[in-house]
Structure 1
Amino acid sequence: MNVSLENVKAFELFFKRNYHLSCLVALRYVKSPEVAEDIVQETFLYLWQKRAELKITRNLKSYLLNAVKNRSINYLQRERQFDELTDSGFLVSFDEESEAQHAEDELAVQIASSIEFLPSQCKKIFLLAYQDNLTYSEIATTLSLSKNTVKTQMGIAYKILRTQLKSFVFSLFYFFNLKKC
């Protein structure tokens, strides 16, 4: 979906459709909902303020998710630097992310993106299980559903996610096998 950064209404709709997903991506890294929301809001603000200068040649949603991921990583590095500076009196340099960690991060972004393809009730149930760590019984009680309905919806969610992530996982497998050669 190509969204014009110049059109206010289109950008507002883009914001509403991608805010939650962006927060999930940031939360994967920073582990604090408040910090994740700040990072996402800063990213959207940056996109809006720099809209005339940005030349996005690919999907805006992909650009957004990568920007959120990078800002989250930068936040963590700044926090670590501050902690190390105060703990030891000097700044310690950071090693680059390993390829395996990068692949894991990319998979997390892909999972977050794939969750958006779930039907609304299925998505709600999946997020309660995945994000809030609720059991099927707890989800059933929370949403006033039967436990079997929750099981069925989770089955649907896993089937859709497997389909959505199949090509991505295959690409990772192919990439790491090439690296071994």
Structure 2
Amino acid sequence: METDRKEHFKAQFEKYYPVLCRIAHGYVSDPDDCEDIVQDLFVSVWNHAKDELPDEELGAYLKTAVRNNCISFLRQRQRMGVVSIDDKCIAVSGKSSDEEPVTDYESLLEHVLAAMPPKCRDVFMMSKLQKMRYKEIAETLGISEKTVENHIGKAFKIIRNYSAKHPFTIILLPQLIKTGLWILQ
């Protein structure tokens, strides 16, 4: 019976491993970290006998678990202050202007936020930093949800324009916004 379980587990591993690595790569840029996360997940699946779930339940479980493990990995890495070489913001500019190259996340965020009008910046920070819903923001500021949507749209337009002007300084900004790794403390 143990041999059957091993064969079944091996088949599930071969079926889901590439899919789970692709999902993990959507969250974590380093392929080695992605593989570690997925392999750790399979160890956990084996240890807790989750491989005995029906196939469709196992697939859903694995996809959810890998996403959650990636988020936990990113949070842990953020707490420890570890940033891989792939995640460095590198400033390369041919201009000799007054602008300082952005080399760390906090100053990158400050530069982008400084480019936004005050109300737009407040709405954006409430939405992305404080993780408030549009309805909550609207109630807090006494504005409509549509106005909140407009401010968020304007903020992202400013971010895109900033990105076009400073292509190498904000390589990670979209990912930082998506994952919430750039929360100021």
The normalised TM-score by structure 2 is: 0.40
The higher-RCO structure (CA 8 Å, 6+ apart) is 2
Larger Rg belongs to: 2
